[in-house]
């Protein structure tokens, strides 16, 4: 049987050494962990600082790009005259400002309801090119429109998102459509008699109304310039063609019956809605913002027509009136102009008032008159409340 030596317990000194080794190892591991955490914190902070610096640099680049963009037009150009009718105004009757058959200009060009008319516009564009090709080249017409693009864009308050090529084509087709339409009506063209949508009275009337809507406009200068290029004055003289201004007055002659204003180059027309307003304003004397009310005072004319009637005032037709702003008051007789009213009257007046509220706010003659003139019915008061806050 082998000898079994007794187990000698470790001495206190060896135990202490073993404990110290373990403590050193633990401290080392702890220090490693701390170092690692500190490193990660530093790296995270650096990454965050770097990302922030990148973001700041990108913002700076974007801001500099805006500041250096010379192509951006001013927010409101002096030429601005065509507006998207503000929501406060249009909510009273959305349809009164939206074309029903034909889109003119960029504001409604993508309206799906109006796309069927595009082929008719292209048909008249072809007639325009065919008719003018002996006087000018198609390239010259295109170059004219291209050169006019910056000025055309400045006429719209809205930012026109179309590229230059798209806008040139749109203006050329739409302007040609209008020019040929005016020429055909002047010449009583056969297209007005058969074989065309224009031979249907309802459609022709709708086109006329669409051409008078504020949002459905091209600047008058580009229409007139294109016409003069296609049909120079000597050609017009040889062919006995009127000027474009004369064609325009003839096309919209039914709205000029009250004053029968003669076409005059001194009349500055911004677009067809502006011309409609000109037809209704007196031209024989200077106007001020209160010209039609100053004789009687705003307080005296703050009553509606029905209230004046109840007070014993007799309303009579003003014979020989030269504009809807002309009023005569004598004794108990108030003479006012007579105006024809049809299904389109509200639409036309709404668009003239919208133009005044956007462009002629200090010269809102028609707006002021309508507030008095038709405030006699509850419906009228509701209608006018959409336009102005007086």
**Tokens, residue 35:** 């170092």
Can you give the residue ranges of every domain in the chain? 87-280, 305-385
Residue whose C-alpha is closest to residue 370's, from 351, 284, 316: 351
User: What angle do the packed helices 138-154 and 118-132 form, to 10 degrees?
Assistant: 130
Task: Please enumerate in sequence order all residues whose Cβ is within 8 A of that of 363, keeping only pairs 6 or more positions apart, or say none.
Answer: 287, 289, 356
CA dihedral 176, 177, 179, 185 (to 10 degrees): 160
CA dihedral 192, 196, 202, 203 (to 10 degrees): -110
| CA distances, 183 to each of 61, 108, 188, 201, 252 (Å) | 53, 25, 8, 17, 13
What's the confidence (pLDDT) of residue 3? 55
What's the confidence (pLDDT) of residue 303? 64
pTM of whole model > 0.85? no
What's the confidence (pLDDT) of residue 386? 47
pLDDT tens, residue order, the chain (390 aa): 555 555 555 555 566 666 666 666 766 666 766 677 767 777 777 777 777 776 667 788 878 777 776 656 556 788 999 999 999 998 888 999 999 999 999 999 999 999 999 999 999 999 999 999 988 999 999 999 999 999 999 999 999 999 999 999 999 999 999 999 999 989 887 656 655 677 788 888 999 999 999 999 999 999 999 999 999 999 888 888 999 999 999 999 999 988 889 999 899 999 999 999 999 887 665 454 444 444 444 444 556 667 777 778 787 777 777 777 777 777 778 777 777 777 788 899 999 999 999 999 888 888 887 776 655 444 444 444 544 444
Alpha carbon distance 371, 315 (integer Å):
17
Alpha carbon distance 142, 131 (integer Å):
16
- 296: number of Cβ within 10 Å: 12
- Share in percent of the chain as helix, strand, coil (round to 5): 55, 5, 40
> What is the edge-to-edge ordering of all strands in the sheet holding 328-330?
314-317, 333-336, 328-330
What's the confidence (pLDDT) of residue 353? 94
What's the confidence (pLDDT) of residue 290? 45
Judged on CB neighbours under 10 Å (0-12, 13-18, 19+), 267 is middle
Residue whose C-alpha is closest to residue 124's, from 202, 185, 168, 167: 185
Task: Please enumerate in sequence order all residues whose Cβ is within 8 A of that of 183, keeping only pairs 6 or more positions apart, or say none.
Answer: 131, 189, 241, 247
Q: Are 191 and 135 contacting, i.e. CB atoms less than 8 angstroms apart?
A: no
Q: Are strands 333-336 and 314-317 parallel, antiparallel or unpaired?
A: parallel
Alpha carbon distance 286, 100 (integer Å):
37
Alpha carbon distance 123, 180 (integer Å):
10
């Amino acid at each position: 049987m082998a000898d079994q030596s007794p187990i000698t317990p470790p001495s206190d000194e060896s135990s202490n050494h073993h404990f110290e080794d373990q403590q050193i190892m633990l401290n080392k591991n702890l220090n490693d962990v701390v170092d690692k955490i500190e490193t990660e914190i530093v790296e995270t902070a650096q990454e965050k600082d770097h990302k922030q610096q990148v973001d700041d640099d990108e913002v700076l680049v974007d801001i500099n790009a805006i500041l250096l963009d010379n192509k951006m037009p001013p927010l409101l150009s002096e030429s601005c005259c065509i507006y998207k009718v503000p929501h406060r105004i249009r909510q009273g009757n959305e349809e009164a400002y939206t074309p029903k058959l034909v889109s003119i200009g960029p504001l409604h060009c993508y309206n799906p309801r109006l796309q069927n008319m595009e082929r008719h516009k292209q048909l008249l564009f072809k007639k325009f090119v065919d008719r003018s090709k002996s006087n000018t080249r198609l390239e010259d017409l295109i170059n004219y429109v291209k050169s006019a693009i910056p000025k055309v864009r400045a006429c719209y308050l809205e930012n026109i998102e179309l590229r230059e090529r798209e806008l040139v084509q749109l203006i050329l087709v739409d302007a040609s459509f209008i020019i040929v339409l005016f020429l055909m009506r002047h010449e009583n063209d056969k297209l007005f008699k058969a074989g065309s949508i224009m031979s249907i009275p309802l459609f022709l009337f709708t086109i006329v109304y669409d051409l008078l809507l504020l949002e459905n406009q091209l600047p008058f200068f580009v229409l007139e310039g294109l016409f003069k290029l296609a049909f120079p004055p000597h050609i017009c003289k040889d062919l006995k063609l009127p000027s474009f201004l004369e064609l325009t007055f003839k096309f919209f002659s039914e709205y000029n019956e009250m004053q029968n204003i003669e076409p005059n180059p001194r009349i500055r027309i911004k677009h067809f809605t502006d011309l409609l307003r000109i037809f209704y304003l007196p031209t024989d004397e200077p106007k001020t913002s209160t010209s039609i009310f100053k004789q009687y005072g705003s307080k005296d004319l703050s009553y509606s027509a029905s209230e004046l009637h109840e007070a014993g005032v007799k309303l009579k037709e003003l014979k020989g009136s030269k504009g809807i702003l002309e009023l005569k008051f004598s004794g108990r007789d108030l003479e006012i102009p007579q105006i024809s009213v049809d299904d389109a009257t509200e639409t036309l007046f709404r668009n003239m008032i919208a133009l005044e509220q956007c462009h002629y706010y200090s010269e809102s003659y028609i707006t002021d008159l309508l507030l008095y003139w038709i405030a006699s019915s509850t419906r009228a008061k509701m209608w006018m409340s959409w336009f102005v806050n007086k």
